[in-house]
């Protein structure tokens, strides 16, 4: 029988710190698997379980408001003119505001007016809702002392921790995030190491031509991807989409307005 080799303890050298405990949960929300991962102290405790339940509850609430696949969502009822904006969740009006802000900042490369199955355009904030929902869901997780967390929503990721958790040094909990090669999905093109931050990727490798270019009025089908990292998943996702479909003006706008974010094109 073989077994891992062990090194004799060196005099005067402290034993390495034990790996933090970890636990993961996953639910199908917004038509995708969304997983929550905790690492740190007492990840099985009542506080951790309640925080995770609250996070999933926030995600389900966002889906009930904004889903384009649920006839009873606020968004679809508003589009059918069954209700007025004032009768919807206040988050719908906030989504309108965020979409308008994103359109201005990205020089028109991001829009919440997207094609419908009938060939016209309708209010559809899908491009910002997922990242926004994950950011909102992270709030109860951030209150867990001595715990770091990762939310993975269909490949877009938010990593965070309690404010007292160190961001660097030997006690920091580091997460490794692999960036898929859009031309060979079996290959990891790049790996990021983060203790906090968001990672969003937009492209055609997984879903084909699904990103809408407002300038041309067409879906973009070229191969490749853009990954954006930064403080929030909301804006990382917005900028990843805008940079993939946009022009040089969008790249210039990113350099001007998104100084806390970094982008990588593959």
Give residue 11's pLDDT: 56
Domain parsing of the chain, residue ranges: 21-265
Look at phi and psi of residue 169 and say left if phi exceeds 0, alpha if psi is from -120 to 50, else beta: left
In CATH, what class is 21-265?
A: alpha beta
Global pTM value: 0.92
Average pLDDT over residues 212-221: 95
The pLDDT of residue 16 = 53
Mean pLDDT over each residue of the chain, to the nearest integer: 93
Per-residue pLDDT tens over the stretch 86-121? 999 999 999 999 999 999 999 999 999 999 988 899
Is residue 218's pLDDT more than 80?
yes
Reported as a pLDDT band with limits 50, 70 and 90, residue 15 is low
Percent of the chain with pLDDT over 70: 94
Query: Is pLDDT above 50 for 138?
Result: yes
């Amino acid at each position: 029988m073989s077994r891992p080799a062990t090194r004799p303890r060196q005099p005067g050298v402290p034993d390495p710190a034990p790996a933090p405990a970890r636990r993961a949960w996953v639910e199908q929300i917004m038509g995708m698997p969304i997983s929550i991962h905790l690492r740190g102290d007492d990840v099985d405790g009542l506080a951790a379980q309640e925080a995770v339940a609250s996070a999933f509850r926030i995600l389900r609430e966002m889906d009930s408001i904004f889903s384009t696949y649920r006839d009873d969502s606020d968004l679809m009822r508003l589009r059918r003119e069954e209700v007025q904006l004032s009768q919807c969740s206040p988050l719908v009006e906030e989504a309108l505001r965020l979409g308008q802000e994103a359109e201005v900042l990205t020089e028109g490369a991001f829009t919440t007016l997207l094609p419908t199955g009938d060939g016209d355009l309708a209010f559809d904030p899908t491009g910002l809702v997922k990242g926004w929902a994950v950011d909102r869901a992270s709030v109860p997780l951030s209150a867990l002392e001595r715990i770091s967390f990762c939310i993975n929503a269909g490949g877009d990721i938010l990593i965070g921790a309690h404010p007292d958790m160190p961001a660097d040094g030997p006690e920091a909990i580091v997460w490794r995030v692999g960036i898929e090669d859009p031309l060979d999905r079996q290959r990891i093109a790049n790996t990021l190491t983060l203790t906090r931050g968001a990672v969003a990727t937009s492209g055609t490798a997984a879903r084909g031509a699904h990103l809408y270019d407002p300038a041309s009025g067409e879906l973009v089908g070229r191969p490749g991807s853009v990954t954006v990292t930064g403080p929030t998943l909301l804006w990382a996702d917005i900028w990843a989409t805008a940079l993939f479909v946009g022009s040089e003006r969008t790249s210039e706008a990113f350099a001007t307005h998104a100084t806390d974010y970094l982008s990588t094109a593959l």
